[in-house]
Structure 1
Amino acid sequence: TSRDQHIVPLLSDLFNTSKQTPTDPSTTITMVVTKVLMLTCLVAAVAATPIDPYGHQQYKHEPKPYSFSYGVEDKNYGPNFSQHEKSDGKNVKGSYTVQLPDGRKQTVTYTADHHNGFHADVQYYGKAQYPPPSKYPPFVVKPQHYAPAPHFDQPSYH
């Protein structure tokens, strides 16, 4: 068509760096479409790259030493435990004690740091005591059987 005769040479001059215009218009159109497609892909790839690199920003934290301890002793219901812990900001040392239901006391002494990880030493004090079995006979429920009986209310006509 006449329109293609005017546009194809113009686009060919625009995109053809070798300045050799092919004689076949379909080849020229194919080359132009290929170059436009490549340019579009390049623009899309540049637009898709992140401005900031992925990942979180690293912050330098100064070591924050701390120390705490607490304890609970309930003589009515039995919870009895405590914990003590101290840190210089890099290493943690501590222990906790728990009164177990069998009468023993469990003490865990632990240390933790970035190089060796968490290490615990568990100690038990006392002897496990189990109460004697109950002397009461087990409770037995005797099933009761009822004979079926029809029950109809008297109709009321008021």
Structure 2
Amino acid sequence: MNAKVLILLGLAAIVAADSFESYEYRPPQRSSEESYESGEAKYDFNWAVSHDPSSNEFGHQEARDGDHTQGSYYVQLPDGRLQRVTYFVDGDSGYVAEVNYEGEVSHESASFESREYRPRYVYDSNESK
């Protein structure tokens, strides 16, 4: 009796599954009255980071309006100088950049051992035996 009930329920499930609509991905449909407007890219952003314990500073600024983009970014180099890059892109002219350095080279600031926040790794030859 249980087998007949299971078979009957299985057949009912198959029939019910066939009667449902299939759910497959279809791109959104637009009516003929709707129009898709492709606007020119336009944005403006700016961010900066200053990490006091390491004296590390870096940031980026960029603005775009259509085919014209301009911006700059800067980073504190390990030798103590600040590298600043100013750039622009105008249509098909490509990326045009000007690189400047501010400050003097300091060999002390370039030393990894002098920075307290740097992890130190010690290799122990006895560990591998």
Normalising by structure 1, what TM-score?
0.43
Provide the residue aligned with 1:93 in structure 2: 70
Query: Of residues 66, 89, 98 in structure 1, which corresponds to 2:43?
Result: 66
Provide the residue aligned with 1:106 in structure 2: 83
* Amino acid corresponding to residue 89 of structure 1 in structure 2: G
Provide the residue aligned with 2:103 in structure 1: 126
4+ aligned runs moved over 6 Å, structure 1: none
Q: Calculate the aligned-residue CA RMSD, in Å.
A: 2.4
Instruction: Spell out the pairing of 1:31-46 with structure 2 (5 A cutoff).
Output: none
* Amino acid corresponding to residue 129 of structure 1 in structure 2: S
State the aligned residue count.
76
| Separation in 2, partners of 1:78, 1:61 | 44
Q: Is the 8 A contact 1:85 1:92 kept in 2?
A: yes
Q: Name structure 1 gaps, 5 residues minimum.
A: 1-58, 135-158
| Separation in 1, partners of 2:37, 2:91 | 15
Give the number of the structure whose residues are more often strand, by fraction. Answer: 2
Any idea what SS the aligned residue of 1:115 has? helix
Indicate the structure (1 or 2) with the bigger Cα radius of gyration.
1
Instruction: Tell me which of the two structures has the higher relative contact order, counting C-alpha pairs closer than 8 angstroms and 6 or more residues apart.
Output: 2
| Separation in 2, partners of 1:104, 1:77 | 13
Superposed displacement of residue 60, structure 1: 7.9
Distance 1:114 1:60, change over 3 A: farther
* Amino acid corresponding to residue 111 of structure 1 in structure 2: F
| Separation in 1, partners of 2:37, 2:100 | 38
Confirm whether residue 81 of structure 1 aligns to residue 65 of structure 2: no
| Separation in 1, partners of 2:98, 2:38 | 30
* Amino acid corresponding to residue 68 of structure 2 in structure 1: N
Identity over the aligned pairs, expressed in percent? Answer: 37
| Separation in 1, partners of 2:67, 2:38 | 11
CA deviation vs aligned residue, 1:10-36 (integer Å, no higher than 9, x gap): xxxxxxxxxxxxxxxxxxxxxxxxxxx
